[in-house]
Amino acid sequence: MKTLTICALALTTATVAQAADVKLFTEDYAPYNFVDNGELTGHGVDIIKEALSRSGVTADMEVTKWSRAISKAEKDADTCVFTTARTPEREERFNWAGPMYSEAIYLIQQTGSNADIASVDAALTKKIGTQTGDFAVALMDRMGATDIDLAPDAEMTLKKLRAGRVDYMVALESAAQVAIDGGGIEIAMEVSRNEFFMACSKTTNSDVIAKMDAAIDSILADGTQAEFIAKYE
C-alpha cells in the first residue's frame, strides 16, 4: 500500500479558466485509488476519469483521509467521494452514481493465526481493525463485533495487523490481494458482499450525477471496467 508524503494531492480535469462541475474526493487505498510517483492512479481512479471523459463532466480531484473525504462529500455542494460502499446507514445521506464494483468483503489475518476460530461468529469476538468513517465500522457493528479498533486510514490498520495489535482487518477483495502480495497475510473468511459507488452530496447538481451514472454503467457494460481492474492485478 502506498504512503502519501503530502497531506492532500489535488488534480484537475478542468481548465484553469473554467470552474469544475464537481469536486471529487478519494482516499489512498490501493489498488482502487492511490498515489504513485506523485500521480493519482488505481482502477477506481481509471473508472472515474473514463466516466468524466465520456460524460463531459469536469472535476477537481483530491486524495485525503477517508473520514475527511466522506464528510466533505456529505456536507459540501457539488462534491462527491469514491469508491464508496452503498449501505443502509448511508443510503439517504447521499445521491449515487454507479455501481463501480460489486466486491466481497473479507476478514484478513496474519498467516497461520487465529487457528482456533472456525466461524464468523467466533471471529466477531476478536479485535477487528478498520478505519474511522469506513462502512466496515457499521457493518461490523451490525454483525455483532465486540471489539472494533479504529485507525485513521487503511495503511495504519494493516500495520496494526502485521504487528499483532489487531486479530483481523476488514478488507475489500482487491485490497486484500494487495495485502497478501506484501507477504505474511492471508484471507481468513468472507463476511459480506457489497456494491461500491460514487457518492455525492444532496446538493450536487442532479444532471452531473445522472451523466456520471450513465457513463459508469457504460464502462461496466462494454468491458472497460474489467480491463482497468486487470491492469492492477
Tens digit of pLDDT for each residue in 129-180? 999 999 999 999 999 999 999 999 999 999 999 999 999 999 999 999 999 9
Pure H helices in the chain:
43-55, 66-75, 120-123, 135-143, 154-163, 173-181, 206-221, 224-231
At 15, the pLDDT band (50, 70, 90 cuts) reads very low
Q: Are 78 and 201 in contact (CB under 8 A)?
A: yes
Gap between the Cα atoms of 201 and 10, Å rounded: 20
User: And the C-alpha cell for 229?
Assistant: 481492474
Contact of 83 with 33, CB cutoff 8 Å: yes
What's the CATH number for 103-193? 3.40.190.10
Q: How far is CA 56 from the centre of its chain?
A: 24
Q: How far apart are the first and last CA of the chain?
A: 14
* Confidence grade of residue 18 (pLDDT, cut at 50, 70, 90): confident
Residue pair 101/196 in contact by the 8 Å Cβ criterion? yes
Distance CA 142, CA 69 (A): 23
Instruction: Assign domain 9-102+196-231 to a CATH class.
Output: alpha beta
What's the pLDDT at 7? 38
- 9-102+196-231 shares its CATH topology with 103-193: yes
Q: Domain coordinates of the chain in residue numbers?
A: 9-102+196-231, 103-193
Contact in structure between 46 and 228 (CB atoms under 8 Å): yes
Beta bridge partners of 131: 151
pLDDT band at 9 (very low <50, low <70, confident <90, very high): very low
Its pTM stands at 0.86
Flag whether pLDDT at 65 surpasses 70.
yes
The answer to which of 14-18, 98-102, 103-107 has the lowest mean pLDDT is 14-18
CB 80, CB 23: distance < 8 Å: yes
80 beta partners:
24, 200
Residue 205 vs residues 51, 63, 80, 175, 183: alpha-carbon distances, Å: 16, 22, 11, 31, 44
- Per-residue confidence at 4, pLDDT binned at 50, 70, 90? very low
DSSP state of 132: T
